[in-house]
Structure formats: C-alpha cells, structure tokens
Homo-oligomer: A and B are copies of this chain.
Amino acid sequence: MAKPQITISDVASHAGVSKGLVSFALNGRNGVAPQTRRRILSVAAELGWRPSVTARSLSNRTSLALGFVLRRNPDVLAADPFFAAFMSGVESVLAPRGWALVLSMVSDAESELQTYRRLCADHRVDGVFLSDLRHDDARIELLRAIGAPAVTLGYPEERGIFPAVDLDDTLGVTQMVRLLVSQGHRRIAHVAGTQEMLHGSRRRDAFCSAMAAAGLQPDMIIGADFSAAAGAQATKALLDQRIRPTAIVYANDPMAIAGLGVLQHRGIRVPADMSITGFDGIDLGNYVHPALTTVGSDAHLWGQSAAETLLALITNHQAPDLELPPAELMLRSSTAPPAPAGNR
C-alpha cells in the first residue's frame, strides 16, 4: 500500500499537456482533440496510471460505491440463499466498472437507519439497495429526506419514490396451491413468514386468494418468521390440531426443511401422508428426501438488474421500474395426492 503512486500530474507532464486536459480525456468529455486524447490515453496506459478514487471522490462528491445494509438475524440469514446469489449478481455489474459494494449487517431497526444515514452522510456510497421491505418502512422516508438514490427489491407500499426491481412471488404461491388442489388436497395449511415484511404478508395473501379461488377456506395459517426453528414449531402446532392438514405450504425453504424434519420425527411419511412445499429454491432442497417442491427465483439476475437500475438512477437521476420473470415452480417430490381418508 506504499508504492510511489503515479498521478495525473505525471501523465500530464509526460504527455506535455495540463492536468485539466488529462482529466477531460479520461472522462471522455468533449473539448479534447481526438489526437490529443489518444496520446494522453496511451501515455496514461504506459505509465499504468490509475486515477485516485479518493481524489476523484473529493472533487466529485461521488464514491463509486453502492451500499447494502442487511438487518437480519444471522441464523436466518445463514440459511437464506438469497443474499449470496444476489450479491454475486450485484458484483457482476459493479466489478467491471470499478465500483465497489459496501456491506453492513445490523440487528435492529435503529442501527439500520443509523447505518444508512452514516453511509450517505459520509459519502461512502452513491446509492443504496433496499431489501426486505416492510410495512411502513422507515427507510423509505429517511432516504427520500436525505435525497439518496435507492432502488427497492420489489415494490414498496408507496410506489414511485424510488425505482423498484420486482420479481413476482405470488404467482408461485398460487401455482403451489393449484397444484395441491389438483392433486386432491382440501385441507392445505400455510406456515407464513414474518408479517412485517412485505414478502411475508404478500405470500400469505396470495395463499388466501388461491385457496378462496379454489373454493377452500384458508383457515390453517400459522405465523412464523422464516427461521428453521419457527418452521419446526409451526409444523408441530399444525400436527397437534384436531384436524390435520394434508398439505403444508411453507413461506420459505428452511422452514419447509425443518418441517420435514418434524414430520419424519413423528413418522409421518412425505409425501404419502403429507405433502409439503417450500419457497426460494435453495440448493439444499434438492438433496433432502424427498426433494422439496418449491418456487425458485433467479437471485443472481435480481442482483444484476438492481445494480444496473441503481447505477442508471445515479447517472440519469431517474430509472424505470423493472419487472423480472416471476419465480418459477420447481416440481420435485414432496407432494402427492392425499392419503385416502381411512388412512389418517
């Protein structure tokens, strides 16, 4: 990190021009003779000049970095495949352009807001990603007030403030219910995710609608929080009811896998005695037995699109909403027609 750093002045003197011109050439601004520009650029390349990000930031009030702050229980996060894939998508657009990703992990709402505030006030980032949208999400108002560019993953309650990159997850729930209904299930339960989160309540609502559409009562819904522990708990509660469901639609895969563990523990065969479905399409779901039927979304693409949208917003001061292909049903082996009534 020492190294006799070569600067714009070196390039300027070697090329026999002023620093200003070098800067113009570098940034592709017009007002530089094509020939001069070429000369400058080649000198810069020869010298191996890397313009200082810091110096540029100071003049520009720009940082060439994007921010991501994650408020999550580490256990839930660890089991969640979303972020690794999402971030590799983000990186795939940032790296080639020389941008960086600043990541923060926080545990509560207060430090989450604090972190966004700090990141922006310190000009550490030029824009931020907003994930895990919640009802009455305080982050939206904060960032609007600060005037920070942001992109939301999915639509927030109030649209139009920031561009959204959306990937529909309700269709998957609907398809799941239809699948189960078509297999003959009538008593279908739902183990819901955190209801403060938009995607938690959205999946639950989609479940209710789909049930209603099939003429069924969505009366077996248990609240959980996306964690494996809660998934197991909810499953036990469901099994202890007087009337058991014949199928369970979980709001994410880790809860489904934990539920599967409970079912196996109680000697309930999946899918013969009970059908289950997950949500997210995590890799491990492919390898449990039976392989988990789930809904998979392309998190890598999501990250890529969100990064592109945010970059566009930063440079153009506006960017359109983007609708990604909806999450797809991944039919595997964890559902089957319900056992004949006598078998229960």
What is the interface of chain A mostly: helix, strand, loop, or mixed? helix
Q: Does A1 contact B (CB under 8 A)?
A: yes
Q: Are B102 and A100 in contact (CB under 8 A)?
A: yes
In A24-61, the 8 Å CB interface with B consists of: 50, 52-55, 57-58, 61
Q: Are A287 and B228 in contact (CB under 8 A)?
A: yes
Smallest beta-carbon distance A126→chain B, Å: 8
* Complex contacts, A287 vs chain B, CB 8 Å: 228-229, 231-232, 257-258, 261-262
* Complex contacts, A1 vs chain B, CB 8 Å: 61, 120, 123, 126, 146-149
> How many angstroms from the CA of A52 to the CA of B54 in the assembled complex?
11
Q: Does A78 contact B (CB under 8 A)?
A: yes
Q: Does A13 contact B (CB under 8 A)?
A: no
Q: Are A228 and B284 in contact (CB under 8 A)?
A: yes
Q: Are B104 and A91 in contact (CB under 8 A)?
A: yes
Indicate whether A58 sits within 8 Å of B54 (C-beta atoms), given known contacts A79-B81, A91-B104: yes
Give the oligomeric copy count: 2
Q: Does A264 contact B (CB under 8 A)?
A: yes
* Complex contacts, A222 vs chain B, CB 8 Å: none
In A69-85, the 8 Å CB interface with B consists of: 72, 74-75, 77-85
> How many angstroms from the CA of A117 to the CA of B262 in the assembled complex?
49
Q: Does A105 contact B (CB under 8 A)?
A: yes
Q: Does A243 contact B (CB under 8 A)?
A: no
* Complex contacts, A191 vs chain B, CB 8 Å: none
Q: Which residue of B lies closest to A228 (CB)?
A: B287
In A278-316, the 8 Å CB interface with B consists of: 282-284, 286-291, 300
10 cross-chain CB contacts under 8 A? A53-B122, A65-B124, A72-B84, A84-B105, A91-B105, A100-B119, A254-B284, A261-B288, A264-B264, A284-B284
6 more CB-based (< 8 A) A-B contacts, given A100-B124, A228-B284: A1-B126, A65-B102, A102-B102, A257-B284, A261-B287, A288-B288
